[in-house]
């Protein structure tokens, strides 16, 4: 099945100039302010083709950004995958071997396997552990509204509400899913942890609006923690919040959705969402809302996220 490719509206920044880093780790830049304050990590390119975060951090670095207080770290995570970008195959540069957003458990990080992503995660691990608050900047294959993703701790929800944009929240119960994402590494995955850690999905990978939102949210995140002065946007409505019920990982090459989907479609309880070999994936509740349906079928990758709307 051939799927039409989306237009590529943005230029991909040349990141070579940031390759040395300034803190002993390639593509990692850390700057301290004159006054004490929290350490905030802004991360781009956890997935190699999600260019919006790279555009945001490339701009902040090129502007010579320095925090008024606290410490900021800018990290371009999977540059190896980013550098394989091919406009004729724009989805292939997501990763080389491992999903860099599923390997943040001690089992993977301390294990014996090797890959570009595991080496990079091990190299980044001290910087991630040193950060009080983390913003991990992503984008989506499909052209859907932007949204937050975060473990269901109030400290994360409070940040998402305070930043206002985006106004959709996908709340993950801890320990449900297909691996350990960056934002659940160490203390950020613990109920008694102190720091916030959120993913922001800024829109379709290659749209200019996605890069613009990534740049805006990155600055709002820094402002929220006092690193810069910047007024927050005013809320226009209460955020729409969804609770992740389950992540379906594709088991069979015949995986297919029951109807064409891009995300945010809703299904009645019991309604067929997709089939995967002999398995039927049916909505476990009314108003079951799907997120991030797979654009193409790759066995072992996530096929779809099933969620239900939350009351608040």
**Shortest CB 302 distance to Zn ion, Å:** 11
In the complex with Zn ion, which residue's Cβ is closer, 81 or 228?
81
Confirm if 10 and 206 have CB atoms less than 8 A apart. yes
Confirm if 23 and 41 have CB atoms less than 8 A apart. no
Could you tell me which stretch among 8-16, 121-129, 135-143, 211-219 binds Zn ion (CB under 5 A)? 135-143
**Shortest CB 46 distance to Zn ion, Å:** 6
Confirm if 70 and 226 have CB atoms less than 8 A apart. yes
CA distance 177 to 86: 30
**Shortest CB 48 distance to Zn ion, Å:** 9
224 touches Zn ion (CB under 5 A)? no
**Shortest CB 124 distance to Zn ion, Å:** 16
CA distance 195 to 284: 33
% helix, strand, coil for the chain, step of 5: 25, 30, 50
Cα distances (Å, whole numbers) of residue 297 to 57, 60, 112, 244, 253: 31, 36, 29, 21, 6
Q: Considering only residues 240 through 299, tell me which ones interact with Zn ion, judged by CB under 5 A.
A: none
Q: Considering only residues 41 through 60, tell me which ones interact with Zn ion, judged by CB under 5 A.
A: 47, 50
In the complex with Zn ion, which residue's Cβ is closer, 60 or 149?
149
138 touches Zn ion (CB under 5 A)? yes
**Shortest CB 2 distance to Zn ion, Å:** 23
3-state secondary structure of 293: coil
Could you tell me the sign of the dihedral formed by the alpha carbons of 1, 48, 152, 119, in that order? positive
In the complex with Zn ion, which residue's Cβ is closer, 47 or 248?
47
Binding to Zn ion by CB under 5 A, coded x per residue (else -) over 168-207, reads ----------------------------------------
- Residues making contact with Zn ion (CB under 5 A): 47, 50, 138
């Amino acid at each position: 099945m051939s799927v039409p490719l989306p237009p590529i509206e943005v230029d991909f920044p040349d990141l070579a100039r940031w390759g040395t880093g300034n803190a002993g780790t390639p593509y990692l830049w850390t700057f301290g302010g004159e006054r004490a304050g929290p350490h905030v990590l802004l991360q781009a390119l956890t997935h190699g083709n999600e260019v919006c975060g790279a555009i945001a951090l490339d701009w902040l670095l090129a502007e010579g950004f320095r925090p008024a207080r606290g410490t900021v770290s800018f990290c371009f995570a999977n540059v190896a995958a980013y550098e394989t970008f091919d406009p004729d195959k724009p989805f292939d540069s997501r990763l080389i071997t491992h999903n860099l957003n599923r390997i943040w458990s001690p089992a993977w990080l301390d294990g014996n396997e090797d890959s570009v992503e595991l080496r990079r995660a091990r190299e980044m691990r001290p910087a991630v552990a040193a950060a009080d608050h983390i913003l991990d900047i992503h984008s989506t294959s499909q052209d859907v509204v932007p949204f937050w993703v975060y473990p269901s701790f109030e400290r994360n929800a409070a940040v998402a509400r305070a930043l206002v944009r985006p106004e959709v929240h996908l709340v993950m119960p801890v320990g449900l899913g297909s691996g350990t994402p960056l934002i659940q590494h160490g203390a950020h995955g613990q109920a008694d942890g102190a720091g916030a850690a959120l993913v922001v999905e800024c829109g379709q990978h290659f749209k200019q609006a996605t890069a613009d939102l990534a740049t805006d949210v990155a600055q709002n995140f820094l402002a929220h923690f006092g690193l810069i002065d910047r007024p927050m946007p005013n809320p226009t409505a209460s955020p729409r919040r969804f609770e992740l019920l389950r992540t379906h990982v594709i088991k069979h090459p015949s995986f297919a959705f029951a109807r064409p989907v891009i995300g945010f479609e809703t299904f009645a309880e019991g309604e067929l969402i997709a089939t995967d070999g002999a398995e039927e994936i049916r909505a476990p509740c009314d108003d079951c809302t799907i997120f991030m349906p797979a654009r193409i079928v790759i066995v072992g990758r996530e096929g779809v996220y099933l969620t239900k709307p939350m009351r608040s």
